[in-house]
Amino acid sequence: MAGEQLVLTGLMAVLLVVIVGALARAEDWRSYTPLASGGGYGEATGHGHAEKPGGLVRWLTTVDHKDIGILYGVYAVVAFAVGGIMAMLIRVQLTLPGGVIVGNSYYNSLLTSHGITMLFLFGTPILAAFANYFVPLLIGADDMAFPRINAIAFWLLPPAALLIWAGFFTAPLTGNEIEPAQTAWTMYTPLSAEQANPGVDLMLLGLHLSGVAATMGAINFIATIFTERGDGVNWANLDIFSWTVLTQSGLILFAFPLLGSAMIMLLLDRNLATTFFATGNGGTMLWQHLFWFFGHPEVYILVLPPMGLVSYILPKFSGRKLFGFKFVVYSTLAIGVLSFGVWAHHMFSTGMDPRLRASFMAVSLAIAIPSAVKTFNWITTMWNGQLRLTTPMLFCIGFVSNFIIGGVTGVFLASIPVDLVLHDTYYVVGHFHYIVMGAIGFAVFAGIYYWFPIVSGRMYQKTLGKAHFWLSMIGTNVTFFAMLALGYLGMPRRYATYNFDGAIAPLAQVTTFHQLATVGAFILLVGQLIFVWNVVTSWLEGRRVESHDPWNLEENDMLGNEFSWFKEQRETALADGGEEDESVMADGGQPGQQSDER
């Protein structure tokens, strides 16, 4: 055992040295400059290197909010890729009733790590990437209120990921003595308390680190928005994205510490024989109450900034201001308050007091109202507008479409009689993924494409961007609508195989819909591969934007503060002796002519 651990430590040390050496020698790391590109890769300039060190040292020591935003973004994309690979293995496994590629234990590990990776290692960090880079620019701040705490919050995340994924690496080296956690992402007791696997402890510690990082970031965003706004930015004209980040940060401040406390109690139960969640005194219900008091606000922690992104980007390509701006802000705050009063709708089938169930059902139905307000405001903003179907706009429209499906299916689950029938079926999986992938994912892609010219100084390829949208839209609806159908057929979720008796569910139809969901997942996969190729090649070799207004927003007075900052950076670069590079119109148009997406 000691020998295996020594070998593992040695291999990790060698890998770390190789990675550090490769990154230190990489030319792109040395030529990074935050000038006109706002943080892209290009020719090195004295202006950039006079302020910050070059090479890998820059990235390890930076406290610049833009640099940290890029670090968050790269980290989140890597986590998205890992979680996506896990999802594809799950879908391949479920193609046939008896399973295809993995055993039950490994399937449970994939299921657990997929959920945790997508929610904690991709969802929260990718939103922090946008918020870190653009909130200070939008509110006219020089940087975050606490730049060093901002850096610390990010650097807690890589070890968190290593701890969460550790079981996959240690299992083959320890003879499966330390396996990946097999608790599902909800970590329900008594399973999580009694599973004799150190991989569960590693996962809990990793989650705790990610929660500390999120909490530190939330405090920083609240302090920044309250104290660092520029002279011309007040509460009346604060942009909608900053409002949603502020509300999200408030939710994190109340929700994540509770999850951390619950996980410490679970660690004590596992390792010191305490009885917080012992089955004899109802402790298993206690875990569900503590977890879901965090868990449902977590859904809105993930969805509020994407709502802000859509509320900010969609009007730009509709040629008009956001309809009912104040009501969008009020509905954001209402969601923040109500989100802490709906957690027990995850527990309708646990046998809780019917009077409590009824109250939670009422609040769960009520929280749909502010979400509906936003939806009608987005639709009304587009109504009779001058729509330009750029790639960011397509993803915004896709967000609205998928959010309606995800929201309506959620309203059904908020009803006690319906939930008792559909609870723990694939209907819940379909509903949740319509929100997480169909809404949150689409808003993230809209933000990436919209702000890509600022971050990189270049423009992505228009055709590939639209191909990414259509493949994602088709794949999302094929995959997750099939899951809704599986739920109506009675297919339980979290099953590694489903070769069951026809009395549970009609096997032939269940198999067909599983195969349909797998086809949709592969369509999604192709779309994301196109996205990665487009972003990487455009970042490195894409044509440079011609001006500070790549989306032609000034003519409608829709240019945001971040593009005004972009203009200043370009003028500063030219004044310092830079040259105006070969340019390109928005979304890949040819120089000297109007792009068809303008």
Per-residue pLDDT of the chain (598 residues; tens, 9 = 90+): 444 444 444 555 565 555 555 545 543 433 434 433 333 333 333 333 346 777 788 899 999 999 999 999 999 999 999 999 999 999 999 999 999 899 999 999 999 999 999 999 999 999 999 999 999 999 999 999 999 999 999 999 999 999 999 999 999 988 889 999 999 999 999 999 999 999 999 999 999 999 999 999 999 999 999 999 998 899 999 999 999 999 999 999 999 999 999 999 999 999 998 989 988 777 889 999 999 999 999 999 999 999 999 999 999 999 999 999 999 999 999 999 999 999 999 999 998 889 999 999 999 999 999 999 999 999 999 998 899 999 999 999 999 999 999 999 999 999 999 999 999 999 999 999 999 999 999 999 999 999 999 999 999 999 999 999 999 999 999 999 999 999 999 999 999 999 888 788 889 999 999 999 999 999 999 999 999 999 999 999 988 998 889 999 988 888 989 998 998 888 876 665 555 444 444 454 444 344 445 5
pLDDT at 555: 85
- Which pLDDT value is given to residue 582? 42
Contact 258, 223 (CB under 8 A): no
Could you state, in order of their start, the residue ranges of all structural domains in the chain? 60-300, 386-545
> What Rg value do the Cα atoms of the chain yield, rounded?
24
DSSP string, 148-180: HHHHHHHHTHHHHHHHHHHHHHHHHHTTTSSPP
What CATH superfamily classification does 60-300 receive? Cytochrome c oxidase-like, subunit I domain (1.20.210.10)
- b/e for 60-74, b at 16 or more Cβ within 10 A? eebbbbbbbbbbbbe
**Count of alpha carbons within 13 Å of 227, Cβ hemisphere only?**
10
Q: What is the DSSP letter of 40?
A: E
Return the DSSP state at 593. Answer: S
- Residue 178, Cα to own-chain centre: how many angstroms? 28
On whether the pTM is more than 0.95, the answer is: no
Three-state SS for 434-493 is HHHHHHHHHHHHHHHHHHHHHHHCECCCHHHHHHHHHHHHHHHHHHHHHHHHHHHHCCEC
Q: What letter does residue 12 receive in the DSSP assignment?
A: H
Give the separation between CA 571 and CA 258, rounded to whole angstroms.
48
Q: What's the per-residue H, E or C state across 206-224?
A: HHHHHHHHHHHHHHHHHHH
* 552: region left, alpha or beta (phi > 0 left; psi from -120 to 50 alpha): left
Report the alpha-carbon distance of residue 370 to residue 331 in Å, rounded: 5
What confidence score (pLDDT) does residue 39 get?
38
Cα distance between residue 225 and residue 242, in whole Å: 8
Task: Single out the residue of 139, 147, 221, 246 nearest to residue 565, CA to CA.
Answer: 139
Tell me which residue of 50, 71, 48, 47 sits closest to 59, measured CA to CA.
71
457: CB partners within 8 A, 6+ apart: 36, 37, 38, 40, 42, 544, 545
At 81, which helix (H) or strand (E)? helix 65-93
CA distance 148 to 64: 9
Q: Which tokens sit at 147?
A: 């730049």
Given a contact cutoff of 8 angstroms between Cβ atoms, the answer to whether 393 and 317 are in contact is yes
